[in-house]
Amino acid sequence: MIKERDSEPLNPPFPIKEAGSNVKAGNISPGDPRGKRPPDVLQKFVGIFEEKGWLNQTLRIKHRDRRYRICCTEREFLVYRINDHCSVLPGFPGWSVCIVTHEQIVEDSDMSAFSSSEPSAHEWLRCIAEEDFELI
């Protein structure tokens, strides 16, 4: 929290990252371009997965010519990118590119110092709702 000279702490209109951290944590404020709080976004994922009969299951999909594992429970939504070149990096089968819990939304762009071409949480919502992927 930000303090003004010996006064009460101010709540900033955006999440503040801890020093040395690239991960955005906590509730997203209404001023955030994504415009939704983590529990609201998670509830949308849960609703979609429940409606499609996929809740508490892991699906292997192909989206934008990339392979992923996706799963959703009432506690979290997770997208795991499958490393297409695992023979190049043995023991490194993939990495998380999107995690949504009641407390936070963590996207690939938040975890990397480089720009990311991975879909955002809201892009994943659209992709899954519209079934814009191939089951593999």
Query: Per residue in 4-50, pLDDT tens?
Result: 334 443 333 333 333 333 333 333 333 444 447 999 999 999 999 99
End-to-end Cα spacing for the chain: 45
- pLDDT on residue 94: 83
Measured from the Cβ of residue 3, the count of other Cβ atoms closer than 10 Å reads 9
pTM over 0.85: no
Domain ranges for the chain? 35-135
- pLDDT on residue 87: 59
* Dihedral pair phi/psi, residue 111, rounded to 5°: -95, -5
- pLDDT on residue 22: 36
- pLDDT on residue 92: 62
